[in-house]
Copies of this chain bind each other. A is one copy, B any other.
């Protein structure tokens, strides 16, 4: 697990530099998403913000998450049934997901860089490096069977 790269303060700066106002709602939402170790759904972010700002609306959460996505503070990951979760760029982002036990492991930076380079060279496609999900069987499950 890498350490957080972006503090709440720099997130506020990022907002301002893109001419977005740093309102209490946005600061709260930033704090929640940036400090989350899980990748929260919009609804979960909403539930958290409500603890601090009980009158906040879900619409504000969605609008803010869109802003945060636009200025690259978070990334949206889409799931079946139309749900999306939000991933701040603080955690490693190339995940190995075991189809048997569901374990999620992150690739180390070196491997990510190598893979990214390979993809860029052969396709001119630029991976975000923040979103690469590889499904397969983990070592543990390989041994079991």
A contacts, CB < 8 Å to B: 76, 78-84, 96, 98-99, 105, 107-108, 110-111, 114-115, 118-119, 122-139, 142
Instruction: Please tell me which one of the listed residues B130, B131, B134 contacts residue A127 in the complex, with CB atoms under 8 A apart.
Output: B134
In the complex, A108→B122 CA distance in Å?
A: 9
This chain: copies in complex: 2
Contact A122 B127 (CB under 8 A): no
Contact B133 A119 (CB under 8 A): no
Contact A128 B114 (CB under 8 A): no
Residues in B whose Cβ lies below 8 Å from that of A133: 131-133
Whether A96 contacts B115 in the complex (CB less than 8 A), given A82-B81, A131-B134, A135-B131, comes out as: no
